Amino acid sequence: MAKSNSRRGESALIAHYFAPLCDPDASFGLTDDAAFLTVPDGQQLVLTKDMLVADVHFFANDRPELIARKALRVNLSDLAAKGASPLGYMLGLGLPADWNEDWLSAFCEGLKQDQGEFSFPLIGGDTVKTAERLTLSITALGTVKAGKPILRRNAQPGDDVYVSGTIGDGALGLLARRGTLSKLTTSKQSDYLVDRFLLPRPRIDLSPLICHFASASMDISDGLLGDAAKMAMAAGVSITLMLEDIPLSDAGNMLVQRQPNLMHTALSGGDDYELLFCAPRMHREAIMQTAQTFKTPITCVGAVEVGKGVNLFDRENNCLVAGQNGAYEHF
């Protein structure tokens, strides 16, 4: 741990910054080597882990609050995809050599804000000096009712395929964050997209719907087409998507109309953090009715079929993408 005069040592850093964020029942004020958790009877633990590295997964000069919140949210998104309720998280924090207290203070403010929003306390972790890029490793824990976990591999021919929210905003937001879209968007549109890139919306609110209806579910972190291909492969099925049905935001729609090849970015880029799930066709009406009780829109975008890989069709029934890996080569 860095111990220069102007900065706290590891113990002081834990006591000052991290102890106030922790769940006292599980982590004893972070004064111990380990956290203790009781999983309620009839519940099963869901665990997921994401590493995030500066200038790979976020920009090192992004606001520290937003880096913290995105790190939590990409993990919460994985929990949401499994229909889980957040329980808590462990934080591995690799600080670069030039970290300072202002940065860390703002970073912890971001953690605090989203911990509150998602009832997701810190339960433990480790802080080290990396000498190079900021590196975050989050282990997120949640609970689901014990029974049949909702896995990618359970997609069945005959299922409908749904997505939450709108697709492509994260990838278009990355372009906007880089300034690539400045001639194509208003500043309001650009701000909307950048915000979607910097601050994913983990769909924890949809967990009850996922638990009740979904046969298979995952979050879309690497692009709809690529992630649908992963689901198709895990389940040994084909997933057919209808281009016209894929929901874009107003900003996304406008961009694709002005520059059609941005549809490629929208469908293949990362950082959506929306849910991709399947459910038996017989539940379609109930799902669409239930969805109306949530703020987040749900859209049926295709179907699971016997076969392999992802197929994307336009309204004239032209196949735009056909293949196992969802590569978007024909646009």
3-state secondary structure of 330: coil
Instruction: Report the nearest approach of a copy of itself to the CB of residue 235 (Å).
Output: 9
- Of the pair 148, 315, the CB lying nearest a copy of itself is at 148
Whether the CB-CB separation of 88 and 37 falls below 8 Å is answered with yes
Instruction: Report the nearest approach of a copy of itself to the CB of residue 44 (Å).
Output: 5
Phi-psi region at 125: left, alpha or beta (left = phi > 0; alpha = psi -120 to 50): left
Instruction: Report the nearest approach of a copy of itself to the CB of residue 73 (Å).
Output: 14
How far is the C-alpha of 137 from the C-alpha of 130, rounded, in Å?
13
- Of the pair 31, 259, the CB lying nearest a copy of itself is at 31
Residue 25 labelled as part of a binding site? no
Instruction: Report the nearest approach of a copy of itself to the CB of residue 140 (Å).
Output: 9
Q: Which two tokens stand for residue 79?
A: 């929990």
Q: Which residues pair with 186 in a beta bridge?
A: none
Residue 126 labelled as part of a binding site? yes
Instruction: Report the nearest approach of a copy of itself to the CB of residue 183 (Å).
Output: 31
Dihedral sign for Cα atoms in the order 206, 78, 277, 113: positive
- Of the pair 55, 250, the CB lying nearest a copy of itself is at 55
Instruction: Report the nearest approach of a copy of itself to the CB of residue 326 (Å).
Output: 12
How far is the C-alpha of 28 from the C-alpha of 278, rounded, in Å?
41
Q: Which of 96, 121, 59, 79 is nearest to 219 (CA)?
A: 79
Whether the CB-CB separation of 307 and 237 falls below 8 Å is answered with yes
Q: C-alpha distances in angstroms, 203 versus 254, 277, 283?
A: 25, 12, 20
- Of the pair 44, 253, the CB lying nearest a copy of itself is at 44
Instruction: Report the nearest approach of a copy of itself to the CB of residue 41 (Å).
Output: 7
The count of residues in the chain is 331
- Of the pair 181, 228, the CB lying nearest a copy of itself is at 228
- Of the pair 36, 319, the CB lying nearest a copy of itself is at 36
Q: Which two tokens stand for residue 101?
A: 């207290």
Residue 169 labelled as part of a binding site? no
* Interface ranges with a copy of itself (CB under 8 A): 11, 28, 31-39, 41, 44-53, 55-57, 78-79, 81-82, 84, 90-94, 123-133, 135, 137, 139, 141, 144, 146, 149, 151-153, 218-219, 230, 234
Whether the CB-CB separation of 71 and 134 falls below 8 Å is answered with no
- Of the pair 46, 176, the CB lying nearest a copy of itself is at 46
Residue 33 labelled as part of a binding site? yes
Q: Which two tokens stand for residue 60?
A: 């090192």
Residue 269 labelled as part of a binding site? no
Residue 203 labelled as part of a binding site? no
Q: Which of 173, 163, 165 is nearest to 255 (CA)?
A: 173
3-state secondary structure of 242: strand
Annotated binding site for substrate: 57, 271, 328
Annotated binding site for ATP: 125-126, 152, 221
Annotated binding site for Mg(2+): 33, 48, 50, 78, 126, 219, 222
Annotated binding site: 33, 48, 50, 57, 78, 125-126, 152, 219, 221-222, 271, 328
